[in-house]
Structure 1
Amino acid sequence: MDDATVHNYHPLPVVIESAEGAWVTDTAGRRYLDLLAGYSALNFGHRHPRLIAAAERQLGRVTLTSRAFQHDLFAPFCEQLADLCGMEAVLPMNTGAEAVETAIKTARRWAYRVKGVPADTAKIVAARGNFHGRTTTIVGFSDDEEARDGFGPFTPGFELVPYGDVEALSAAVDDRTAAVLLEPIQGEAGVIVPPPGYLAEARRITEERGVLLIADEIQSGLGRTGRTFACEHEGVVPDAYILGKALGGGVLPISAVVSSRAVMDVFTPGSHGSTFGGNPLACAVALEVIALLRTGAYQRRAAELGARLHRELAELADGDWPVTAVRGRGLWAGVDVSPAVGTGREICERLMARGVLAKDTHGSTIRVAPPLVISEEDLSWALAQLRGVLG
């Protein structure tokens, strides 16, 4: 590790110099198939030609105005993203964590100004095992002790319930509840898919009790699961989407909270902001991302290749392989590996030696999340390498 580098990550020992599509190349000229895709930020692959062209065009025009002035792409971006989401209003930020913080502020102000919750008493219900970011407020309602250790005191106003437990969720929602904040699929926890009907029940409970349902689709959204949004698998439309990662196409960060006017109009000038949020360069790339999603090709590809991915992974879990469980949806899977063959980190190191880059989580789970542009042949090859390191 470089002496000037803060050790807040434990990366695999590879130094990437260039990339294209689903492949990256290190400084020694060795190529690797990317099965992480920047935690879903690279849904459209590395350096997608249309996204790079959009960025290059904008670089020759204007890159930043701040929100002190208007720019010509801001309104089109907000309008098109709102339309993609079936919503009315967009508040752009930069990172996923910023968007989650924005959603928290949105829910609290809505609770006070619209719902009538007494000042400074609003509560947000979230799920155990969540990963919504790493700001002090967000890690405060995480149950990941590694993320929390040494960073308190934490912001009050959050209650955690077991993920997938409808009864616990229902019991936690009371008159002070502003919102229920959920990941439709918990990514960092190991690609945890909730029981069938859970999201639909969460939608029913929140609608009946006048509570916002906020879906954190930062990792699960924008094509990853075979639909534009993971909520669609249960026919659920939340009150607000939190988006990030793939919205910037792997080119630069842009995130957003997308909701109705009735919710988002709680903001007034000066009540929230961001210097770079919705900047012209980010909007140019995000508009092209929206155009790619409108074709439906990436959603279909994730569904079709995802079916093959999960079929082959299920064979590992059902056979004599040292795989104890497989979960996921679309081109996204969590593979639990028996400790008898090594830790998740060790498995990823063995995969790297075979030319495949993946990332472990929670000790024994390997995350598989390739760019949606991966070819069927490359996916088959990657799965063969996984069988090779497990055999």
Structure 2
Amino acid sequence: MSRPKLAYLTGEYPRASDTFIQREVAALRAMGHEVLTCSIRTTGAEHLVGPEQRAEHAQTFKVLEACRAPLRLLRAHARCLRSPSRYLRALALAWRTAPKGLKGRVYNLIYFAEAGVLADHLAAAGVQHLHNHIAKASCTVAMLASELSGIPYSFTIHGPDIFFEPHHWRIDEKTRRAQFVACISAYCRAQLMCFADAADWPKLRIVHCGIDPERYAPAAQSGQSLLFVGRLAGVKGVPVLLRALADLAPRHPDLRLRLIGDGPERGALERKAAELGLTQRVEFLGYRSQAEVAEALSAADIFVLPSFAEGVPVVLMEAMAAQLPVVTTRIAGVPELVEHGASGLLVPPGEAGALAAALDSLLSDPDARRRMGAAGRAKVIAEFDIKTEAAKLSALFSEGSA
């Protein structure tokens, strides 16, 4: 069976915090797709933490970098102008879908300039379908590049932040023009249905982000070790976790917390841990490679993610694949992955007392930890295996090229 040649675009690729995109690309390649990777910005060195990221970074087309060469920018748009009607339609689309105000118009014209360079690159490479992850600025570029080149496009929508400003990012128009939209959960699809025209609802397909369960060895589950993996930003709720840890410390003298990830609030969180007397209990490890994350999961006893807003966190899938019981918040699409009392415990977001109580119950019950860990792994294998989810995407790509 012939597989269409694909291009993947996102704002910054590869990133240590977006390994699910790398896994998806790798799975599609394993199925026989040729996949070109494209990134609007050049990835920062802090994200190139493993061989997978470095290899992908080396072969990824950087759009802004190409745009900074004036002759390349002009030649790309000159080639796009060979179809003047298509060029003018794309320019009108950029103007019409711009956010309100002068700044919004200027930004969309910048996106149009980027789209011309991307469209030229894709056409020269013989790409048959363009797919975007994260439906913000990079998806605007994808929509405009599709209009300029005639190459169909689709996108994966994650949330939750895209739904904070749906009109700003014109997810209605992006959906209308897309061949299909991959929604990472039923909750995500329902949110998009609030803004997309009802005529476009059949395009909205649930395709989970996924992992390879075989990469994760069963966790130890015999001690008092907590693990958090995520960006150190306010949305992840780490201050709530630190307060819960301080509450638990008197009852669990051996309790320790390791945090993998980095971000704008790391310094403040390190100071907060010190204020709470947790310096000897908390270890900030920064970004780690996929292999190092898998190793940390196998050494932990409970995985905890106290976020205020999420889609369906891939790191929860990884923890569950490692047979770790998880404690996380009852938000968005999380309950579609974690069943309360079966594979983990769900708590209200922002409530340190509830988080501490949930952790206390699991720390005191090794049998419950083992039972939930086994149930979690079974759930991930059944519904969140990257091979299965990539096959769904491949079928959608192939439908459009038939």
TM-score, normalised to structure 1, is: 0.31
Q: Which has the larger radius of gyration?
A: 2
The structure, 1 or 2, with the larger RCO (C-alpha pairs under 8 Å, 6+ apart) is: 1
**Which structure carries more helix by proportion?**
2
TM-score, normalised to structure 2, is: 0.30
